[in-house]
Amino acid sequence: MTEHNTNTALPDFHIVIPARYASQRFPQKLMADLGGKPVLQWVYELALKAGAQSVTVATDHSTIQAAAQAFGATVVMTRDDHENGTERLAEVAAVMGWQGDEIIVNVQGDEPFLPVDLIHASVMALNKDKEAQMATVACPIDLQEDFFNPNVVKVVCDEQQRALYFSRSPMPWDRDGFAASLEHTGPMPTGLPALRHIGLYVYRASLLGRYADLPMSPLERWEKLEQLRFLHQGIKVQVAMADGLPTHGVDTPEDLEKLRHQLSLNMM
């Protein structure tokens, strides 16, 4: 176990923070100031608190590289043609020589207030399920407005808490309850196991090593959900449970202002 790991039940794991400089909705957001330091630095510092064996920033831009090195981060420069964070993660795993069952956590560079407990829960979930090759996180859906929102990704699990399917559509369907009302507002039907997917991913190094050979699946192409690529290939995905939705990350300038306001309230 690593000396920084205060929870002896946790296995060893690595954290990689994919950090793109460009963003269509909010360019250079990782360099934006939040409470006196860049958003990316907040993410790096929370990753350190998780007790990983290593924390690595993966980027393809010299500005991110310089900023990350300035606050003490280990940086791996990656290719600039990656289509997603998983591809960038796979390149880092190859560079670092991680292989086999080594566990690698993908922590997004725009999630400055991601709870460390969620990282631990997802790592533990993957470690306990020896047949699973990756893990993610979900939480209960309380409101029908979220259940019927296509921007809220849903996941259905089996009895071993492995993902059966991810979708933007509402699932599972309460045939009788939803047929009785077309309003689709208010609380969810009591007992319906509706889960909201939280986009935190944990992989075994062996899966990342073969990621480049996994073609996009038809389901992924329609739903625009990368995790369906893995299910299409029969890869088992363990789902850790969270009590509720964590604080939203920085997708837009409005998100950043909300986090600045939240931070100022916490400092009062």
- CA angle 8/12/16 to nearest 5° reads 130
**Closest Cα to residue 157, out of 148, 165, 168, 147?**
165
**DSSP assignment string, 179-195:** HT-S---SBPPTT---E
What span, in angstroms and rounded, lies between the C-alpha atoms of 107 and 48?
11
Measured in whole angstroms, the distance separating CA 48 from the mean position of its chain's CA atoms is 17
- Cis before 187? omega within 30: no
Mutual orientation of helices 116-128 and 39-49 as an angle, nearest 10°? 50
Q: 117 to each of 90, 114, 145, 177, 209, how far by Cα in Å?
A: 24, 9, 27, 35, 27
- pTM: predicted TM-score of the whole model, two decimal places: 0.90
Angstrom distance (rounded) from CA 75 to CA 58: 6
Could you give the C-alpha distances from 255 to 15, 245, 251, 260, in angstroms and in order? Answer: 24, 15, 6, 9
Which amino acid does the sequence have at 204?
R
Beta bridge partner(s), residue 74:
56
Instruction: Per residue of the chain (268 residues), give pLDDT as tens.
Output: 333 444 458 999 999 999 988 777 788 899 999 999 999 999 999 999 999 999 999 999 999 999 999 999 999 999 988 888 899 999 999 999 999 999 999 999 999 999 999 999 999 999 999 999 999 999 999 999 999 999 999 999 999 999 999 999 999 999 888 877 777 888 999 999 999 999 899 999 999 999 989 999 999 999 999 999 999 999 999 999 999 999 888 989 999 999 998 888 777 6
Give how far the C-alpha of residue 231 lies from the chain's centroid of Cα atoms, to the nearest Å. Answer: 17
Q: Cα 112 to chain center, whole Å?
A: 12
Position 7 scores a pLDDT of: 47
The pLDDT of residue 265? 77
The DSSP code for 252 is S
Rounded Cα–Cα distance for residues 82 and 78 (Å): 9
